Every structure is written in structure tokens, then in C-alpha cells.
Structure 1
Amino acid sequence: MLPYVRKDPLTIVQGCTFLHTWEWTAGGQPVDLTGAEFELVAKSSTDNATALIHLTTANAGITVNGNAITLRIEEAITRTYIWRDAVFNLRVKWPGPEPRRVDPFMTGRIEVLPGVLA
């Protein structure tokens, strides 16, 4: 499975809640995401070891409802974002016996716009 490559960046406004939802369909049908886990990591570059954003379904920031995947970052966290550009990967770990299959879901850029009230 190849990831969906976003042509436009995800945009976060510093000091505001970031909320974005996708519905995953294949062949026009909803994909069954029951038991699937997602993880998003954003870094300043692919070769940088430091994560600027790390969201998961297990710890926080990503929720799954049916075939919808939602990312949420609270304003108290985005207020601390002093960086302006990053690359990200969002991957899915499918349910099943270990070792579980992991596939890329989406890749692209994230930009942070400075907030006047941040």
C-alpha cells in the first residue's frame, strides 16, 4: 500500500485548536477500521531525530470512529509551536496477531501560521 501524498499542507494556526478529519474509502466503500491504530509523527526534516508532533490513537490526538480518522491538537499545545514547517507521516497498524501489519496512510507537510493571540 502506498501512502496518500498530500499536495497541500495541513495548516495549524498557533494558539488555536487544530481539528482535521478524513473518511477512508476504497472503491467507494468505507474501510473497516475496527481495531486499527494510527500514529502521526512530524519532524523538521526526514533525517531529523526529534519529533515536533507525535499523535497516536493509544495516547492522544487521534480518534477513529467507523471509517473516520480525526486529528486533534489543543490550543494550549499549538501555542507552543514556534516552528513553521514540518514533514509528516501518518501510518496505520492493523488489528491481528503479532507482528501486526503496518502500512503508510498519508504523508505530506504541516505548516504553522503565527497566531496574533498566541
Structure 2
Amino acid sequence: MASWIAKHIERAVSQTADGFGDWCVNLQSTADADRWAQITWEHINLAYPSADDPASALASLPGVPLLDIASWEPNTFVTFSHGADGSMPALADFMAAYFVHVLRLTDAESDWNVSEEAL
């Protein structure tokens, strides 16, 4: 299920590594404009619909090596730093679980619009 997400993580990392500058892949829910994700070379920024510390909400999600909360704002976003090398499938599984359990959305590719941009 999360293979489509892994493809977009790989795209963000490879575009940056190939010299296209900082690259961002944006995922936007087709069901709710306030539900989104941004993937870059070293960060994943996700909509965060809660005032609670994200560490508690994330405890039940799959673990990912080298994934750390970099910053967050209540009811707005949570940004993670990641080491994508070697952990892209685990990172994709984490994002799919986040979509379902935190954003309360489906992780089906057809329910997300994708765009890309150089930052």
C-alpha cells in the first residue's frame, strides 16, 4: 500500500541529490484541504490536527530509524527530520499509518493529489 509513498520519497531525495536544488513533493488530500504532506531531502512536514504533543500520537505508529521530530505547532503541522537512505520503505509505511491513524484518511494513492516544486 505504501509503495506509492516510497516512490515520492525517492523522487524528493533523488532530485535533490541530482543537483536540482532543494526539491519538495507535495501530497494533498482530495477529501480535506487541511490534510497534506511535504517530502524533502531531509524532512517530512505533515498536517497535525491536534493540540497534544505529537510524541504521544506517534507512539502507536511504525518506528523508523533516524526519524526525529524537528518542530511542531499545535493544530497545524509536525516536521520530522529523516535519514532516508536505507529506510525509505519504513518511512513510507510510517507515512501511510500517519495518514490513517492521525489524519483519519485513507492511504490510497487515488485519494491524494501530488505536485512537485523546487524550493
- TM bucket, shorter chain: 0.3 to 0.5
Larger radius of gyration: 1
Give 1 or 2: higher helix fraction: 2
Q: Which fold has the larger relative contact order, with Cα–Cα distance below 8 Å and residues 6 or more apart in sequence? A: 1
TM-score normalised by the chain length of structure 1: 0.33
